[in-house]
Amino acid sequence: MQIVRPIQTQDLDKLFELASKTGGGMTSMPADLDLLERRIKTSVESCNGNLNGDSAKTFFMVLEDVNSGDLVGTTAIYTNIGRENPFYSYKVMRVTQRCAELDKIQETKLLTLTNDYTGTTEIGSLFLLPEYRFGGNGSLLSRSRYMIMHNHPDYFDDKIIAEMRGYRDENDRSPVWDHLGVHFFGMAFDEADIMSGIGNNSFIADLMPKYPIYIDLLQPQAREAIGKIFSATAPALRMLKKEGFHYNDYVDIFDGGPTVEVYRENIATIKNTKTLTISGFKDLPETKNKMLVSTRSLIDFKACLADVLIENDNVIISESLAIILGAGLGEQLSIAPGRVE
């Protein structure tokens, strides 16, 4: 069985090992021991409630294989983004102009630098080892974040966003960066992306264009890549769309990847989650209709897919599941359908 739980201080070495396997595409989790140690410290403090309400909190979680104890995946929630370090996006603006003399209407698209998402909650850092991409583990990692939001809504903004990795061509190049960003930053895409991913993004305000950019003046490759995703990102985007996320004309300033958003109350998993009381323990048959189950505590949060028996406002679980969750008789669990239709 695999469970999602918050990262702990003693996980540093295993997290470093996992980060070394991401292939470099996950800028929020580079294989850097000092940086990962700081990430863990921030998450532990967030889960313990040691940060004030206006602080930017990070809830960093891992997928653990219960049998081996290995860490095989990661996911995270970032609150109050842009409060401590500015959070930039391009807004795709549409300007319509009409010439009565020529009886002509012309629509022009612009890229405008904004901080519109300041204060919102962002989900990200989703990674799963290829050998564990089965049995709903990807969905478990993704949806565990919504279970935490259901359990502790006051920690999170009404609006939730997710940045999708932007399109790269057959040569693994970003057309948006090559035909736009590089002219302002004068550095390699990966260098700028990593600096931004670790929160060192003051250079963005210093170097980014202060005026709107006419999209029609860009090279065709760049124009077509704006709002387009990297092919490997498609499964994650499909999961987000099932939950209710949608594109609202905001894109990443580096690779032009779309940012999707949803109001927290409209997330499908949250709407379909119930709080039930453990009324008993019983060995239950293995089925394909497993439920998404999580504990209510933030510090000791655990989420997994499991067979349960629901009876009104009560739930019966197996003793082995109770041990894994650290849950006892009379305690409450959050339970949602195992799949989002």
- Name the E strands within the chain: 2-6, 58-65, 71-78, 89-99, 104-114, 121-128, 159-163, 213-214, 246-251, 258-263, 274-281, 291-295, 303-306, 309-311, 314-317, 332-337
Average pLDDT on 220-232 reads: 94
As a whole number, the mean pLDDT across the chain is 90
HSE of 224, CA atoms in CB hemisphere, 13 A: 5
What would the pLDDT profile of 245-287 be if each residue is shown by its tens digit?
A: 999 999 999 899 999 999 999 999 999 999 999 999 999 998 9
Q: Domains in the chain, ordered, with CATH?
A: 84-118+159-267 (no CATH), 270-337 (2.40.40.20)
Query: For residue 53, what pLDDT band results from cuts at 50, 70 and 90?
Result: low
Residue 202 has pLDDT above 90, yes or no: no
Query: How far is 59 from 47, CA to CA, in rounded Å?
Result: 7
Q: Are strands 58-65 and 274-281 parallel, antiparallel or unpaired?
A: unpaired
Residue 183's pLDDT is 82
Encode 76-86: b = buried (16+ Cβ within 10 Å), e = exposed.
bbbbbbbeeee
Q: Nearest CA to 145 among 39, 301, 322, 317? A: 301
What would the pLDDT profile of 139-149 be if each residue is shown by its tens digit?
A: 999 999 999 99
Query: How far is 179 from 15, CA to CA, in rounded Å?
Result: 36
What would the pLDDT profile of 285-308 be if each residue is shown by its tens digit?
A: 989 899 999 999 999 999 999 999
Average pLDDT on 79-98 reads: 90
Query: How far is 138 from 36, CA to CA, in rounded Å?
Result: 22
Residue 180 has pLDDT above 70, yes or no: yes
Residue 182 has pLDDT above 90, yes or no: no
Which range (97-106, 174-183, 257-266) has the least confidence? Answer: 97-106
